[in-house]
Structure 1
Amino acid sequence: MKYPGTRPLFAVMLGLCSSLAMAQEKPVEIHTRLVQQAGADKKVALTLDACSGKFDDDLIEFLIRNRIPATIFATKKWLDSNPYGISVIKAHLDLFDVEDHGENHIPAVIGAGRKVYGIPGQPDLLHLQREVSEGAKAITRMIGVTPRWYRGATAEYDAQAVSEINRMGYKIAGFSLNADAGATLRKAAIIEKVKRLKSGDVIIAHMNKPASDSAEGLSSALINSLKQGFIFVRLDQVDMEQIPDRRLR
């Protein structure tokens, strides 16, 4: 006997399977490089995440002294806590492009209970939309620029989040060389990482942990890169292309 309003068993099972598949979908890093153009060899991009925490004055002052441009991915949380850092960045917008890292540094994975590196993701699509849009509004209000790129917390994404971020009009900023592993590496390890730099690479590092070795390690590594003829550019000056998933150098 079929009761009005009941769903066929196969439809219920299909919904359960879809939910399970979404829950089990493994987030992925998006790896990107600069689109290479004729005569543009040895161009690379330095990107610095400002997740939460403090302002790495040593690192930013090094970049200013050596005229090395960088793209900064800042959260609203970081901006709210670092007015001095904002003033330094705003005084050097010829060097620094500021882009969206979200409102509260919540990973771009959707579903109750989902985590990346132990950090809870977004419970639903509406929360993801808020994370992206409120982060962008904070940058426009405090820095005076309109972000076009988005990098989620942990730099990992699920397919639904990628689709929604793109629909909202943002390009996702991946990377091809992880220089400081979330500001956890020591100076020597950072230098060794950046020695592997190749034309078109997008470096990810951090500027929110001044007690780490990031400033000291990057300072040495980037000077060596300049001596090798590498030219640093900001993401608002170039296009990027996604590269196949692989083990990062």
Structure 2
Amino acid sequence: MKFFLVLNGKSIKQALIIVVAALFTAWFFYVESIAQVPVFSTKEGPKAIYKGEKDIALTFNIGWGDEKAEPILDILKNKNTPSATFFLSGAWAERHPDLVNRIVKEGYEIGILGYDYKDYTELEESKIRQDISKAQEVFKKLNVKDIELLRAPTGHFDKKTLNVAEKMGYTVVHWSLDSKDWTNPGVEVIVNNVKKAKKGDIILMHASDSAKQTADALPVVLSEIQGKNLKMLTVSEMIANGKSQSAEVE
């Protein structure tokens, strides 16, 4: 009888090890197989996307100035770059309707960069909503339709921002690779920063007048991306049909 009980205990232990190993293996292959769009999120709700799972998304913030945006659009056109996403502040768009119209006509995606340059983490929800609504009115007057993406003007966001954005029908978009062009570190540094780009990266660049070296760096940046055999997509194209992985935002 004792012999039987010892054998039975060993069998149960072996069976449990096999079951646990099988479950772990199944979980591993499941995680490897799903398409993922990493996100910042609150515990139970709204998300901010910062990385995709395919190709590259080149994004430009424009908040002020009337000199740098047009040369950058010229370069994108001359380099046959059909896809990019421009996050425009409402205040800038209001002052430059012709450039907004050109961005739309040339097939680039537009996202909202608020109206004024305000840090949303320092504002109450009502003030965040007010700033976004003010930008909405501008784009409505300019006949820019179906905007679904929002980027916090200073890049700083929190749960309040995510909650307001979700209620207003927007997806908050951050970035996974910062070109640092806004610091004007030199063309070579900007290019080297973007050289690090990998599949799924959302790249941050600027077309405001404060980014004085972006236009000079952009032709090489585009060549570097093309040399990686990565297609350039809009943010919306990149995140379409992706599943998400969360990192909580305080």
TM-score, with structure 2 as normaliser: 0.71
What residue in structure 2 maps to residue 3 of structure 1? Answer: none
Say which SS state the counterpart of residue 156 (structure 2) adopts.
strand
Does residue 104 in structure 1 map to residue 116 in structure 2? yes
What residue in structure 2 maps to residue 86 of structure 1? Answer: 100
What residue in structure 2 maps to residue 227 of structure 1? Answer: 227
What residue in structure 2 maps to residue 208 of structure 1? Answer: 208
Query: Structure 1 residues 210 and 159 mapped into 2: Cα distance closer, same or farther (>3 Å)?
Result: closer
What residue in structure 1 maps to residue 71 of structure 2? Answer: 58
Equivalenced residues, count:
196
**Which structure carries more helix by proportion?**
2
**One-letter amino acid of the structure 2 residue matched with residue 83 of structure 1:** P
Does residue 48 in structure 1 map to residue 66 in structure 2? no
1:100-120 C-alpha deviation (Å, 9 max, x unpaired) = 1111121211xxxxxxxxxxx
Does residue 34 in structure 1 map to residue 48 in structure 2? no
Q: CA deviation at 1:32?
A: 1.4
Say which SS state the counterpart of residue 166 (structure 2) adopts.
helix
TM-score, with structure 1 as normaliser: 0.72
Does residue 75 in structure 1 map to residue 89 in structure 2? yes
Q: CA deviation at 1:82?
A: 1.8
Matches within 5 A, 1:1-249: 32-36=50-54, 43-54=55-66, 55-68=68-81, 69-93=83-107, 96-109=108-121, 121-122=122-123, 124-182=124-182, 184-209=184-209, 212-239=212-239, 241=244
Say which SS state the counterpart of residue 238 (structure 1) adopts.
helix
Q: CA deviation at 1:72?
A: 0.5
Between the aligned partners of 1:244 and 1:181, the Cα distance in structure 2 is 27
The answer to whether the Cα contact below 8 Å between 2:182 and 2:211 also exists between their aligned partners in 1 is: no
The answer to whether the Cα contact below 8 Å between 1:32 and 1:243 also exists between their aligned partners in 2 is: no
Higher-Rg structure is 2
Q: CA deviation at 1:210?
A: 7.0
Structure 2: segments with no counterpart, 5+ residues:
1-47
Between the aligned partners of 1:188 and 1:32, the Cα distance in structure 2 is 25
Between the aligned partners of 2:76 and 2:180, the Cα distance in structure 1 is 16
**One-letter amino acid of the structure 2 residue matched with residue 60 of structure 1:** L
Where in structure 1 do 4 or more consecutive aligned residues deviate above 4 Å? 240-245
